[in-house]
Every structure is written in C-alpha cells, then in structure tokens.
Amino acid sequence: MSTLANRAFAKMNGIGNEIVVVDMRDSAAPLTSDDVRLVASVCGVPYDQLMVLHKPRLAGTEAFVRIYNNDGSEAGACGNGMRCVVRRIFEETGQTAATFETRAGLLYCWQGPATDLYTVDMGTPKFGWQDIPLAEEFRDTRHIELQIGPIDNPILHSPSVVSMGNPHAIFWVDDVNAYDLCHFGPLLENHPIFPQRANITLANIVNRNHITIRTWERGAGVTKACGSGACATAVAAARLKRAERKVKITLPGGKLGIEWRERDDHVLMTGTATFEYEGAFDPALFASIV
C-alpha cells in the first residue's frame, strides 16, 4: 500500500497553478512515481505540482521539499508551489520567514510586502549552456538557434534560455495567445537540444516594466501560471536590455512581481497563495500498487 494512503493533504492554488501540499516530515517512507501519478488522476486530486515536505536535512531549514509534476517526474523548482508551502507553514507556526531546501538549493521565503503576499528568493539564474543544460555549446544563451516551422519563415525562433533550477526557453512574440501552445509545447519541451527537457514560455514585452507570458510546463503541460517561468522571463528580458530588473509579469492565472536583485543577482518572486481545502488520500486510490 502507498505511503500516501490516509495521508493528509492541502489543496492550494498559486495564481492558477494547481498545487497539492503534503507534509511527510514524520515519515521516512519514499514516494514512487506511481504514487505521484495516481494522486494526479481524475479519481485523485488533480494538480500541476505536488509539493512534499520531508524532514530537514540541513540545520536551520524547515523542510526538504521535493517537487513532482503530474506525469510522475521530479522538478527542481516551482515558485508558485513554494508560496503555497510557505503560506501553509506560516499559518501553522506563526512564522513570517523561513528557509527551505529543494533540489535547486536553499530558498529563503518571507511574508510580505502585504499580509496576503509571499516572497520567495529563487536564487541566482544560470546562463551557461552546460548549466541549463543544452545538448551542444552556445556561447550566448540570450538567444540560441532553435526554430519551429520553415527555415525561411519560422513560426517560433531564437529563444532565450536560462536555468532557474530547471531549464527554460523563452520565445519573444507579439501576441502570446496567437500560437497553439498545446501543439508546439510538447515538441519543444522534448527537443533534442534539451537533454532534461524544458519549460517553454511565450513572452510579450508590454513595456519595460510589464511582460505577459504563457507557459508549457515540463511534465505538466499548459498551465495558468509558472513561477519559475516568470522568473526566467524577467531575467532573460533584462539580459536583452528589453526590460528593467524589476517587472510585473502577467500570466493567465494572475500577476507576479519579479525582481532580479542587482546587488547579488538573486531573483525574488512575490505573489499570492490561495488555500482551497484539506483532505486525506483515499487508500482505494492506490489499490493498483502492489
């Protein structure tokens, strides 16, 4: 039987990003990809990301957070999911600041600048082709040679690429709604240039302080919001001198404030986190697991 059977969970929402938070700090039992996929099934609690809190591995941290996509794969970062985790912990403990460990590194988080907003320090972006990673060398990752469509008239081309703990490719367009992201997203996510697959974002620069995006999320598909995608887009736009280092990002599910802090190059993401309901996983959901 799955270790998730009868386990309590919180269903939450990060500006449209469907999040399930599970606290397993009292258990050393591992999760399997079958566990993760079954939770996301129609009979379970469908989600974009599953945020699982494990016992802290490092002194001074609240938890080691593992992040799963609904296809069973594991992600290194999820900004919207982290805000949901932060709200959950803060409401339970009364804290207003805490540090969490993820596969992408340590994330320092705090409440503010308003009581209904939460800020996550997403760390520093990476631009080296081996760090993103890419399958071949590109000296300038502000734009790489990649396109969809005819060579002389490509539909999408020359994305910026960056890692925010997970790989992102940002295509600059005039209208983010003018493209069939459900069609192009999986083709680009699984392009051979991305050995670990990639998150694919369409981005339109409204002005130097405002960017609109839509994202096909690696392992989850089209999503109403992708926090790390918003961070990657803000950084990529600033690298191209097309936007300021502090911008508003509009996503289908809402808005995020992103600042690429100049003094240390850390990326700060600020937004809401909405609680929906609590429950416990029905053991029958995992009956197929031997």
* Residues with catalytic roles: 78, 226
Cα(114)–Cα(271) distance, integer angstroms: 10
Going through the chain in order, the beta strands assigned E by DSSP cover 8-14, 17-23, 49-54, 64-69, 74-75, 97-102, 105-111, 118-121, 147-148, 156-157, 160-163, 167-172, 199-207, 210-217, 221-223, 246-251, 254-260, 267-271, 274-280
Q: Which amino acid, one-letter code, is at 217?
A: E
CA-nearest of 155, 152, 143, 158 to 236 is 143
Give the residues across from 275 on adjacent strands. 12
